[in-house]
Amino acid sequence: MKKYVTIKITAEPQYFDLISGCIWNDEVEGIIENDHFLEVSSYNTSDEFKNEILDTLSQLKNNGGIADYSVSSTIGEERNWNEEWEKALNIVEIGEKFAIKPSFREYENKENRFVLEIDPKMSFGTGEHQTTRLMLLALEKYLTPEAKVLDVGTGTGVLAIAAVKAGAKSAIGVDNDEWCLMNGIENIERNNCQKEVEILLGDITNVEDEDFDLVLANINRNVLIEIKQELTKKTKTGGKLILSGFLENDTQMLLAHFENHFTQTELLQQDEWCSFVLSKNY
């Protein structure tokens, strides 16, 4: 049988969405996110392939994306990647309004939730990660009817889809990953919200519209700081900016970057992960 390598990656902080996006390439057969580590599998068992991943992790550390990491690897026999992928995906209920399910699982909607059918492929946003949960909890509480919504770093498109299902008039999701573009389009079609949700390839500067009632950004701390001016510009006066993707230790430092234009409305937290709800003053 064909041999494959599984590379186990732990990192601090656990920015697994960032790591997955950086290490994904044509030689990676699958990436499975567990509670505290990533498993990267490939039929390329060479030292060169493993060294490429190490180089990428080293660059992330040097650039401040992660503070530290560790890597181990094992060689095994060929696996059914689709079966492994499907095993890792569960139905997730979040708050009182939302449930996220993959297309291949049945869900009995006893509580009349908004059901989001999401097949993530290699994109981030299944509801399993604390930051996605925090964003949806905040969205449930602060979304206003007929709101105009922007989702920066949309991944699977889950937050944009959740917004329109819960009553937003429209939502734009933007991501700089071509895989996320394809996956996001698939998911909005799967949820029958093509008319209300638009997925764009690029970054926040590629979004022409402004004056969004609600801006969502579930990205890592460094990127949030890097694009703070654009996030501020896109949020209308009196609107809300909901941020996540950062740790408890980062809250005061991050808030300081936004306090000139925003007032903190709420801080949500699950485990070490946090989310800000900010109200724009002017």
Q: Provide the number of structural domains found in the chain.
A: 2
**What pLDDT was estimated at residue 234?**
98
Q: Write the DSSP symbol of residue 8.
A: E
Q: Is residue 280 within a helix (H) or strand (E), and if so which, with residue range?
A: strand 273-280
Of 85, 113, 147, the domain-final residue: 85
pLDDT in tens, 21-56: 788 766 887 787 777 898 888 888 999 999 999 999
Same domain, 45 and 151: no
Same domain, 167 and 260: yes
Is residue 191 helix, strand or coil? coil
| Rounded Cα–Cα distance for residues 7 and 75 (Å) | 9
pTM, entire model: 0.78
Q: Is residue 100 in a domain?
A: no
Q: Which of the pair, 266 or 41, is modelled with greater confidence?
A: 266
Domain that holds residue 37: 3-85
Q: Is residue 97 in a domain?
A: no
Tokens of 62: 């040097």
Average pLDDT taken over every residue of the chain: 89
Q: Is residue 15 in a domain?
A: yes
Is the confidence at residue 74, as pLDDT, over 80?
A: yes
Same domain, 272 and 169: yes
| Rounded Cα–Cα distance for residues 74 and 64 (Å) | 28
User: What is the arithmetic mean of pLDDT over 205-233?
Assistant: 94
Q: Is residue 264 in a domain?
A: yes
Same domain, 74 and 131: no
Same domain, 64 and 155: no
**What pLDDT was estimated at residue 115?**
96
Same domain, 136 and 274: yes
CATH code for the domain of 58: 3.30.70.930
Any idea which of 56-70, 75-89, 111-125, 168-182 has the lowest mean pLDDT? 75-89
User: Sign of torsion, CA 165 95 251 21?
Assistant: negative
Q: Is residue 109 in a domain?
A: no
* Bridge partners, residue 9, by sequence: 38, 71
User: What is the arithmetic mean of pLDDT over 2-27?
Assistant: 83
Nearest to 104 by CA among 88, 123, 93: 88
Tokens of 10: 């732990």
CATH code for the domain of 139: 3.40.50.150
pLDDT in tens, 99-139: 999 988 899 999 999 999 998 765 555 667 788 999 999 99
Same domain, 147 and 276: yes
Per-residue confidence at 78, pLDDT binned at 50, 70, 90?
A: low
Same domain, 220 and 134: yes
| Rounded Cα–Cα distance for residues 25 and 225 (Å) | 27
Q: Is residue 93 in a domain?
A: no
Of 85, 106, 136, the domain-final residue: 85
Any idea which of 85-94, 197-206, 252-261 has the lowest mean pLDDT? 85-94
Instruction: Give the Cβ contact number of residue 210 at 10 Å.
Output: 12
Same domain, 266 and 181: yes
| Rounded Cα–Cα distance for residues 149 and 119 (Å) | 22
Q: Is residue 239 within a helix (H) or strand (E), and if so which, with residue range?
A: strand 235-247
b/e code 22-36 from CB counts within 10 Å (16+ = b): bbeeeebbbbbbeee
| Rounded Cα–Cα distance for residues 104 and 268 (Å) | 31
**What pLDDT was estimated at residue 247?**
84
Could you tell me if residue 112 is left (phi over 0), alpha (psi between -120 and 50 degrees) or otherwise beta? left
Q: Determine whether 10 is exposed, middle or buried from the number of CB atoms within 10 Å of its CB (0-12, 13-18, 19+).
A: middle
